Amino acid sequence: MIKENLEKMINKLDGDIEALRRAKYYLSNKEEINEIIDALNKERQVYSDEIYLGDGMAYKECLEIVKELMNKELGKDEQSELLEVIKEKHGRKSPNVSKKSYGLNAWLKFLDVECQWIDNEDSEWSILIITGFTPRIQN
C-alpha cells in the first residue's frame, strides 16, 4: 500500500495520545501532558489529511467497479479480489485508520454500499450480493 507508513504513524500517534490521556489521571503535570497531546493531535491531523487526500477519486473509481458487480453472487475469490482492488485504489488497508477493521464489510460500509451476506452451507465463506449504494454528494 502506498500510504502504509502514514497508516502506521497515525496508529502509533493514536496509541501515544491514548497512553497520555490515561497517564493524566495519575500524574500531577496535567497541563504539560495536555500540551503534548495537542501537539501530537496536530501532527496526527497532518498525516490524516495526507492519507485521505485522494479519497474522492478513489471513491468514484470504486463505485464504478461496484456497479459492475451489482446483483451478482460473489464468492470467496471475487470478494478477495474486490477487497484488494478497493485497498489499492485507496492506498491503505483500512477505511478508517483509527479503527482496527479492515475487511471487505468495513470497506463496503465506508463506501456506503448496500449488500446482503448469505450463508453458504457448502463453505465457511458467505456469499456477497451487492444490492445498491448511496452515492455521496460531491461538490
Is pLDDT above 90 for 60?
Answer: yes
Is pLDDT above 70 for 139?
Answer: no
- State the pLDDT at residue 1: 65
In terms of Cβ atoms closer than 10 Å to its own Cβ (0-12, 13-18, 19+), residue 108 is buried
Segments making up each domain of the chain, as ranges: 4-51, 55-133
Domain 55-133 has CATH 3.90.1150: yes
Find the Cα–Cα–Cα–Cα dihedral 42, 43, 48, 50, rounded to 10°.
Answer: 120
**Distance (Å) of CA 54 to CA 7, 69, 91, 102, 115:** 14, 23, 9, 18, 25
Is pLDDT above 70 for 68?
Answer: yes
Q: What is the pLDDT of residues 81-118, one digit of tens each?
A: 999 999 999 999 999 988 888 899 999 999 999 999 99
All three cell numbers of 122, joined, read 457448502
Q: What is the pLDDT of residues 15-39, one digit of tens each?
A: 999 999 999 999 999 999 999 999 9
Q: What is the pLDDT of residues 44-55, one digit of tens each?
A: 999 999 999 989
